[in-house]
Structure 1
Amino acid sequence: TSQLQSLATAGSEIASHSVTHSNLSIATATSYTNELSASQSQLKAWTGQSISSFAFPYGLYNKNVANQAKKYYAACRGVESGLNSKDNLNVYDIKVENITSSTTDAQIADWLAQAKATNTWLVLVYHSVDVTDSMGVGEYNITPAQFDSQLSAIKSSGITVLTMQQALTEIKSQL
């Protein structure tokens, strides 16, 4: 909890990802409603921040889950690959690029260059940065050395880095 509070205090935006990381697309209405609301409530209690975005576990959801999520969150993201623009923006299914152990610096540089050239929003999803993959996420874990290298690529690209809410505010003003 103290690390979470430190991140929030330092200006990081904290998003919700459910309570139990279950597949919401097959959950009962009571269950997915609890996953959406309880996660938000607990994170707000821990951080003192408003929790306005949600990441669907495994990227899985259905129409009912999405409609319920709209009652709690201003935005959600799945796992569909791509860039977000004012022409294709769905704030309840924000496109992303998932970072895996095999993601190269060249791939990241390409994504950054494409986002910059097309004036689109690139969302990079990191699951775990750990020397030993203590969370057991396999290919979704990267090492601290990989992370440092990727952050250097982002910094050297000159692209503006924003929180989810900052980016949404900017892109919505263009609609």
Structure 2
Amino acid sequence: MKPTLKLFSILLISIGFSCTESNPNVGTSEITKWPEGKIGAISVTYDDGIINQFTIGKPIMDSLGLPATFYIITGKVEGSGKGKFIGRDPKEIIRETASSKTDSSNFFERASLIAFTGTTEAEDYHARAGSLFESGKIQEAYSLIDEGYEKIRAGKMVNTGEVIFHNNAEDTTSWEQYKSYAAQGHEIASHTVTHARLAVLDEVNMLYELEQSKADLLKFLGEESIFSAEGPYGTENERVMEYAHKIYPSLRNRMPETWLEEINRGSKAQPGDSEKEYVQWQRGILTRHSFEDMKSWIDTTLNHDNIWLVLVIHGVENLGWEPKTRDELKEYFSFMKSTEDQIWIETFRDVTKYVRARQNTRVESRFENGKITISLNSDLDPLLYTVPLTIKTYIPEDWTQAKSSDQKTLTIQEDEKGKYVLTPLSLAETQTFITN
């Protein structure tokens, strides 16, 4: 069982005399929707581990002090578990395709194997069959697999020579480099072992794609890299989600919560129409998107208080799917930086940790004898949910100063409910506030 925490913080302000406080808000506390009382959040995410993301995109973000999440295909990294088919003898499966059509009893096994039969054309059959299957075109997916195996049996399946965006030969980033990027504040996370169409894999091969990727990230980078993941092609397949949510605490694909509205990349829904506490609004940054298009997403985030804008980038400069140029990224990230006083820009992992902790933590406080005592109660694991929550506490109108127990001065602010102070508090922390 996860530990239930009861955390205490005490704010003591010396006022020099006793008084009767008329403001009923004094001594009350709340956890702000976003850290430091900001009005929204942005996570910049990159898919596929394309080398230009690290040689062009990352340096631009580093120069501006902006963190990013990189969902990498771990099988491409030297030293990792590689892609493979797990199951019966492939020759036996291929022989069976000559005498029996593909149907629901054998589709997942055949779709899992075909990508590992030795050609790029066969990999494409796997990907296209997955696309048909996820689009609800089940019989078409079966027929395509039959067509592919007919080619394999006839020796007509070939290497096409076409560029596979997520498997560029140039992508040679090492685990040592990834470890240094993580140490700089970026999130390095799973995009599976081979970028497979998870929805058409049988159980053992799907689990290998998810679990081997996690194992390598844990081995080479540590716990912080196995919190979030992204299933390739943005899959929302229910069967995949059921498996993946048992392996990773958070998925960019889906994050089902009663308090969260999810608007994924293909949706035209408007985030401002949602009344949920939070809206995760995903936008894919594509070649055709102008600066004004992309700026409008940030402007929308600024005009509401519940939007988490999740940006998805693939290609950079001249490499990868739907690439954006160096200059376009520099202009956009610079504008994003200019909004940092109002928008929290953080990794997908850390935004997830904050909003989930806020929704699963209760705050209580009381004002007596010149002290405001704050207590947090959470059922979440403090070793996993490590992002501090921001506590907003209302203080008496005649208080002119406040310092925390570590003698840091707390800035006194004011809104329509009265004077207040903000202070960070982690789930694993006990802190006492005291005046000069």
Common fold by TM > 0.5:
yes
1:162 aligned residue: 346
2:95 aligned residue: none
Distance in 1 (alpha carbons) for counterparts of 2:181 and 2:297 = 26
Q: Which amino acid in the other structure matches residue 298 of structure 2?
A: L
User: How far does the alpha carbon of each residue in 1:27-64 deviate from its partner, in whole angstroms, 9 at most, with x for none?
Assistant: 11111111111111112222224311111201124212
Change (3 A) 1:67 1:88: farther
1:68 aligned residue: 243
Residue 283 (structure 2) pairs with residue 87 (structure 1): no
- Contact 1:96–1:122 at 8 Å: present in 2 too? yes
SS at match of 1:118: coil
Q: Which amino acid in the other structure matches residue 165 of structure 1?
A: R
Stretches of structure 2 lacking an aligned partner (at least 5 in a row): 1-173, 254-262, 361-436
Change (3 A) 1:32 1:89: farther
Residue 212 (structure 2) pairs with residue 38 (structure 1): yes
Distance in 2 (alpha carbons) for counterparts of 1:124 and 1:15 = 15
When the two chains are superposed, the root-mean-square deviation of aligned CA atoms in Å is 2.4
Residue 5 (structure 2) pairs with residue 5 (structure 1): no
Q: Which amino acid in the other structure matches residue 127 of structure 1?
A: H
Stretches of structure 1 lacking an aligned partner (at least 5 in a row): none
Which of 317, 326, 333 lines up with 1:151 in the alignment? 333
Change (3 A) 1:125 1:142: same
SS at match of 1:18: coil
Change (3 A) 1:96 1:25: same
Q: Which amino acid in the other structure matches residue 37 of structure 1?
A: E
Q: Which amino acid in the other structure matches residue 77 of structure 1?
A: R
Q: Which amino acid in the other structure matches residue 16 of structure 1?
A: S
Alignment of 1:53-64 (within 5 A): 53-64=228-239
The offset of 1:152, in angstroms, is 0.8
Q: TM-score, normalised by structure 1?
A: 0.84
Matched residue count: 167
Alignment of 1:72-151 (within 5 A): 72-78=247-253, 80-81=264-265, 87=276, 95-119=281-305, 120-129=307-316, 131-133=317-319, 135=320, 137=321, 139=322, 141-151=323-333
- Contact 2:294–2:332 at 8 Å: present in 1 too? yes
User: How far does the alpha carbon of each residue in 1:43-98 deviate from its partner, in whole angstroms, 9 at most, with x for none?
Assistant: 222222431111120112421210111111111123923659882769xxx64111
- Contact 2:278–2:308 at 8 Å: present in 1 too? no
More strand per residue: 1 or 2? 2
Q: Which amino acid in the other structure matches residue 276 of structure 2?
A: D
Q: TM-score, normalised by structure 2?
A: 0.36
Distance in 2 (alpha carbons) for counterparts of 1:113 and 1:61 = 28
The offset of 1:10, in angstroms, is 0.5
Distance in 2 (alpha carbons) for counterparts of 1:40 and 1:122 = 26
The offset of 1:142, in angstroms, is 1.4
More helix per residue: 1 or 2? 1
Change (3 A) 1:63 1:89: farther
- Contact 1:16–1:54 at 8 Å: present in 2 too? yes
User: How far does the alpha carbon of each residue in 1:134-165 deviate from its partner, in whole angstroms, 9 at most, with x for none?
Assistant: x4x2x2x2122211111112112232201112
Distance in 2 (alpha carbons) for counterparts of 1:150 and 1:109 = 7
Q: Which runs of 4+ in 1 moved over 3 A?
A: 82-86
SS at match of 1:106: helix
2:194 aligned residue: 20
Change (3 A) 1:67 1:13: same
The offset of 1:116, in angstroms, is 2.1
Question: Identity over the aligned pairs, expressed in percent?
Answer: 28
SS at match of 1:124: strand
